[in-house]
Structure 1
Amino acid sequence: MEITRLSPDDEVGCADAVGLMNAAAKLDCPEALLPTPRGYAAHLKHGWDGDPGQAFLARDEDGVAVGLLGLHTPTYDNTHLAWVDAGVHPDHRGRGIGSTLIAYGEELARELGRTSLGTDNWDLPKANAFSLRHGFEQKAIEVNRRQDIAGLDWSVVDRLYDEAAQASTAYELVRVAGRVPEEMLDGMVGLTASINDAPKDDLDIEDDVFTPDRLRKYEAAQEAHDRKIYRVIARERSTGALAGHSTIVVERERPHIAEQHDTAVDRAHRGHRLGALVKTDMLRWLRDNEPAVTQLDTWNAESNTHMIAINEQLNYRIVARVIAYQKSL
């Protein structure tokens, strides 16, 4: 078996990587939202916010892709940490390929001076046993939920919006498509940092550090993925302070797919139903502006009961649970 770093310019390699992911998901999590080869290449080149990771493809002696390793070593914050993700094609499991990839990723992390290693897997008995066997400890549970936009009861959305609007009369909503205006940038940076209040459970991670440059790089990375950004922002009428927001992206390559990237409310403005307000207004905006969207995916820590309660009212269903692990190097 040969392990080589995958370039975002390697069209064949990216297609092989996505083919492997699809084959694995067909067995492990058939409803998983996976990238296209084009989207995966953009991920390798730009990452989520201009801080891309690396990928390594394992091929057997016949050149067949049998395993895939992802490695992300954050540079904006959490510079003690590396995340690895190892996937093996179902036809080639049980041969030690996954163990080889994890060891390869761990060695790379050590060489880069990282002192903590994280990984995650679908909540499946064999996958959990694999992570535990390699010295990882369970630290958190993340849940992927999906909203069926096409089957949404809009009377429920409108009712929740009206109730939230009545509780938040001191605020107005601002809709922003694409990049946030320059005059709102600093306020948006502070508001984005509110995500640090979301549960971290037992993970040994620091708060994310947000800056205007990082926010602009996030927008540029999403544009490079050919996604359109939509933001609904709650702004306090009396002060102009940005108090809460919901951010989603809509794919252009697959225009029926939307992803929830962030929903957060500044702690000084909580208790006014702003989370429900921005999420329901976002749905109403999507209905008018992106009629092709039929599904909206979101991720939450299983312990984030407040946000989950809002999502359940909006008819989200669970697609999968993911267990996050970590160990000291």
Structure 2
Amino acid sequence: MKKSLFTVEPISVLEETVLEEFHAVHRHAHGFDFPADPPVCRASFIGQIVRPRPGQRISVWVAWGDGHPAGICVVGLDDNNPLKGADLVFLSVHPEMRRQGVGRTLLSAAREYLGGMGVKKLTAFTSSSAEIGPGDAFAEATGAERVARYRRLSLNIADRPRKDGYEVPVGYRLARWRGGVPAESLAEFAAMSTRLAEDEAAGSGRGAAETFDAEKVDGLYAVLRAWGLRTYITAVRHMESGLLVGYSALGMASSHDRDASQWDTVVLPAHRGQGLGAVLKEANLSWAREHEPELSRVTTWNAVGNDAMTAVNESFGFRADAWGSVRIWSW
């Protein structure tokens, strides 16, 4: 293939036509790498650029070739403490423009900018169907260090009859919410989310855990709604103390009717060992299916080595997904 010419520059004015072109690049790249997955949701992709998570600031670089985007790089910085590190939100190169240095040049531009600000760490996720996929080879070749490994699992709804007869342990009561967390439960939900983040940080070695408060949780779900995501949450309340002690959350992109993502399931330590995690997953899936009649697949992620959680998910019906080897890298 003849080598194409391209130029890389930061971009601050995100006009609608440019965002549509960015989405086209990312859609083609994702479709090429993951042909078995549903197409990238436009609303979710664009939303993550124009309406980032609470407390996050977005920076964008684009590689132009023949007047059109050949690749894009989107980085998220903590608005309150940018020096603690940055996240690589997207790094996508159009399949026809690969192996020409587009990805390396975009990454180099982003890292130079971050270095000039004093940011010392950039974190990214890669996914592939192979043990070492193209994204992993790229990360290694550009000097990244692998921090953690995850495995994607999928649940085929057709293989699993609906179960509405789950039994809630004595002394507990379930609550169900769509689209977010009610105001009276935000503080308790934030405390549980912080505990989950602490557990994940301890297991992955990614450093300090993210902390949550009521305002941040409320803002996060407002952003998810802006991205077009439909969310389903089932929480469990301990009747004697009156406190929320666990929850399970699931989300679906606005353009996806058949595919959902199983997000966090957390039970506070003092209430573990009673099967609450399985009950929460079961109840929440049933809750989602009431409103999503076409739902046919749910995906989730397990840290490699977390055999206990893998066993829980497999007992629930999840199976290893051929397209889902996921790793976290840090430059």
The question of a shared fold, defined as TM-score above 0.5 by the shorter chain, is answered with yes
Judge conservation of contact 1:11–1:37 (CA < 8 Å) in 2. no
Alignment correspondent of 1:127: 135
Q: Once the two structures are superposed, what CA deviation does each residue of 1:171-193 show, in whole Å capped at 9, x if it has no partner?
A: 11111223322221211111111
Residues 111 and 79 (structure 1 numbering): CA distance in 2 closer, same or farther, change over 3 Å? same
1:72: how far off?
Answer: 1.5
1:261: how far off?
Answer: 2.8
Work out the CA distance in 1 between the residues paired with 2:266 and 2:92. Answer: 32
Alignment correspondent of 2:17: 12
Judge conservation of contact 1:250–1:259 (CA < 8 Å) in 2. yes
Q: Once the two structures are superposed, what CA deviation does each residue of 1:239-279 show, in whole Å capped at 9, x if it has no partner?
A: 11111101122334433332223211112211111111100
**1:299 alignment partner AA:** W
Partner SS state of residue 206, structure 1: coil
| Mapping for residues 73-152 of structure 1, pairs under 5 Å | 73-75=77-79, 79-84=83-88, 85-123=90-128, 124-149=132-157, 151-152=158-159
| Count of residue correspondences | 319
Partner SS state of residue 58, structure 1: strand
Partner SS state of residue 19, structure 1: helix
Work out the CA distance in 2 between the residues paired with 1:40 and 1:302. Answer: 27
Alignment correspondent of 1:228: 230
**2:306 alignment partner AA:** N
Alignment correspondent of 2:68: 64
Work out the CA distance in 2 between the residues paired with 1:191 and 1:38. Answer: 29
Alignment correspondent of 2:161: 154
Judge conservation of contact 2:180–2:231 (CA < 8 Å) in 1. yes
**2:259 alignment partner AA:** I
RMSD: 2.5
| Mapping for residues 14-53 of structure 1, pairs under 5 Å | 14-32=19-37, 35-49=40-54, 51=56, 53=58
Residues 7 and 41 (structure 1 numbering): CA distance in 2 closer, same or farther, change over 3 Å? farther
Residues 257 and 103 (structure 1 numbering): CA distance in 2 closer, same or farther, change over 3 Å? same
Query: Which stretch of the first structure deviates more once superposed, 182-191 or 47-56?
Result: 47-56
Alignment correspondent of 2:330: 326
Q: TM-score, normalised by structure 1?
A: 0.87
1:111: how far off?
Answer: 2.5
| Mapping for residues 129-208 of structure 1, pairs under 5 Å | 129-149=137-157, 151-154=158-161, 157=163, 161-162=166-167, 165=168, 168-196=169-197, 197-198=199-200, 201-208=203-210
**2:253 alignment partner AA:** E
1:44: how far off?
Answer: 0.9
Query: Which stretch of the first structure deviates more once superposed, 62-71 or 238-247?
Result: 62-71
Residues 198 and 204 (structure 1 numbering): CA distance in 2 closer, same or farther, change over 3 Å? closer
Question: Structure 2 residue aligned with 1:311, among 307, 310, 313?
Answer: 313
Q: Once the two structures are superposed, what CA deviation does each residue of 1:301-325 show, in whole Å capped at 9, x if it has no partner?
A: 2233333222222322313112211
Judge conservation of contact 2:83–2:117 (CA < 8 Å) in 1. no
Unaligned runs of 5+ in 1: none
The sequence identity of aligned pairs, in percent, is 24
Work out the CA distance in 1 between the residues paired with 2:318 and 2:146. Answer: 26
Judge conservation of contact 1:69–1:101 (CA < 8 Å) in 2. yes
Work out the CA distance in 2 between the residues paired with 1:307 and 1:49. Answer: 29
Work out the CA distance in 2 between the residues paired with 1:322 and 1:36. Answer: 20
1:5: how far off?
Answer: 4.2
Partner SS state of residue 112, structure 2: helix
Partner SS state of residue 53, structure 1: strand
Q: TM-score, normalised by structure 2?
A: 0.86
Work out the CA distance in 1 between the residues paired with 2:292 and 2:33. Answer: 31
| Mapping for residues 205-224 of structure 1, pairs under 5 Å | 205-224=207-226
Alignment correspondent of 1:250: 252
**1:135 alignment partner AA:** G
Alignment correspondent of 2:275: 273
Judge conservation of contact 2:61–2:110 (CA < 8 Å) in 1. no
Partner SS state of residue 49, structure 2: helix
Judge conservation of contact 2:237–2:246 (CA < 8 Å) in 1. yes
Judge conservation of contact 1:14–1:40 (CA < 8 Å) in 2. no
Residues 88 and 224 (structure 1 numbering): CA distance in 2 closer, same or farther, change over 3 Å? same
